Amino acid sequence: MKAYVLDRYAKKSALRPGERPDPALRDTDVLIEVHAAGLNQLDTKIRDGEFKPILPYRLPLVLGHDVAGRVVRVGPNARRFKVGDAVYARPRDGRIGTFAEFIAVDEADVAPKPAKLTMVEAASIPLVALTAWQVLVERARLSPGQKVLIHAGSGGVGIFAIQLAKHLGAQVATTASAANADLVRSLGADVVIDYRTQDFAALLSGYDAVLNSLDADTLERSLDVLKPGGKLISISGPPDPGFARAQGLNPILKLVLRLLSRKIRRKAAAKGIDYSFLFMRADGDQLRRITALIEAGDIRPVLDRTFAFADLNAALAYIETGRAKGKVVVTIREDAQ
C-alpha cells in the first residue's frame, strides 16, 4: 500500500512517500480503507522527536491519528462492524498510521461515521473531539451554569470544545485573534478575548475550569482566572505525575515529569486549584456519543483546508504555521467527499 513514512526523528523533516506492507489484522481489528485523514499538531511533534520518551515508537513509522473510511475486512473476533460500513476513528497510541491507504484498528476504537458528514468532514473530528470530551466531560465534569475558559478557540480542539461546552450548558470564554472573533462567536462563545490586545487574566475571574493548549506563560496566568476549587487542565504540558502513572513510565521518567510539573502544581495548590495534564486516549464508545451530538446538529466540524495525499508534507507545513482556522485534512481517495 502507499504510505508516508517517518524514517528518523528530525525537526520539520519531510515524510517519505513509499510502499508499506498491508496491515496485519488482529482478532478484534477492522481493516479500514482510508478515504481521508485529519492532521494534528501531535503528528508534527512526534515527527520532531518531542514525544520519544513517552511514546517509544519503532522506526520506520507511519504517522496519522484521524481516519475516516470504509471497513474492508474484519478480524475473526470482531463483532461491531461489517464489511462496507462507513466509520471513523482515532487509532490508539502504538497503532497509529492513517497517512496510508489502509489501517488496522481495534474495533473498540472505531465508531460509525456520522451520516450527515462527508468522509473529509468526519476525518477532522476524532482526535479533537475526544480531547474536548475527556477534558470537559471526564476531567472538568462541566455542568450547566459553570464557566469555562477555552484557549485558542479557533484551533482544532478549541472549535470542538466551545461547542461541547455550550451543549453542556456552560458559559464559555475563549481567546482568539480579532480576525477569528466572528467564527468563535458563531460556535457559541459568550466572551471573546483578543489575545493580541487584551489580557484575559485581568478581564476574567471566578471560572470553574480552563482548557489550556498554549505555552507555559498562558498556563500560569490562567490560574488567576480560576476560583478556588477550579480545574486547570492542560493538553500542552507539562505532564504531571498522574500522567506518568497512567502511562506506566519507568521511575526515571516519572521523576523527570514530577520535576517538570512541580512549579505549576505548587502554584495551583497555593490557590486551591487542581492542575492536571491530559493526553487523550482512543475510545470508540465516546466517539459514538460524539456522533449522536453531530447528528443532532449540536456540533459541526470546521475545516480550514483540504490537501491531496500527494501534498501531505505541504499540509504538515501549513498546520505548523498556526494559521489554520479549524482542521486540515488530506484525501487519500479521490472520491473521499
SS3 120: helix
Q: Which residues face 231 on adjacent strands? A: 209, 274
Q: How many residues comprise the chain?
A: 337
Range of the domain at 261: 128-277
Q: What value does the mean pLDDT take over residues 208-215?
A: 96
Verify that 97 and 154 share a domain, yes or no: no
Residue 201 has pLDDT above 70, yes or no: yes
Q: Is 107 within a domain?
A: yes
Q: How confident is the model at residue 337 (pLDDT cuts 50, 70, 90)?
A: low
Verify that 135 and 267 share a domain, yes or no: yes
Verify that 232 and 265 share a domain, yes or no: yes
User: Kindly report the CA angle at 18 between 17 and 23, in degrees rounded to 5?
Assistant: 115
Verify that 148 and 272 share a domain, yes or no: yes
Residue 273 has pLDDT above 70, yes or no: yes
Smallest CA-to-CA distance from 319 within 66, 38, 18 is with 38
Q: What value does the mean pLDDT take over residues 165-187?
A: 97
pLDDT of 65-102, one tens digit each?
999 999 999 999 999 999 999 999 999 999 999 999 99
Of 277, 292, 315, which marks where a domain is finished? 277
The number of folded domains in the chain is 2
Verify that 118 and 8 share a domain, yes or no: yes
Residue bearing the bigger pLDDT, 139 or 333: 139
Residue 141 has pLDDT above 90, yes or no: yes
Q: Please, what's the b/e burial string for 181-197 (b: 16 or more CB within 10 A of its CB; e: otherwise)?
A: bebbbebbbebbbebee
Question: What's the pLDDT at 250?
Answer: 85
Residue 253 has pLDDT above 90, yes or no: no
Q: Is 289 within a domain?
A: no
Of 262, 277, 292, which marks where a domain is finished? 277
CATH number assigned to the domain comprising residue 257: 3.40.50.720
Cell 467564527, residue located:
183
Answer for the pair 267, 240: CB distance below 8 angstroms, yes or no.
no
Q: How confident is the model at residue 334 (pLDDT cuts 50, 70, 90)?
A: confident
Please give the mean pLDDT across all residues of the chain.
Answer: 95
Q: Specify the DSSP class assigned to residue 47.
A: H
CATH number assigned to the domain comprising residue 110: 3.90.180.10
Q: Is 287 within a domain?
A: no
Verify that 156 and 35 share a domain, yes or no: no
Q: Is 111 within a domain?
A: yes
SS3 123: helix
Q: Residue 229: left (phi > 0), alpha (psi -120 to 50), or beta?
A: left
Q: Is 286 within a domain?
A: no
| Residue 274 burial by Cβ neighbours in a 10 Å radius (0-12, 13-18, 19+) | middle
Query: What are residue 259's phi and psi, to 5 degrees?
Result: -70, -40
Q: What value does the mean pLDDT take over residues 245-274?
A: 91
Verify that 265 and 134 share a domain, yes or no: yes
Verify that 231 and 137 share a domain, yes or no: yes
Q: What is the pTM of this model?
A: 0.96
Q: What value does the mean pLDDT take over residues 241-260?
A: 86
Q: Is 285 within a domain?
A: no
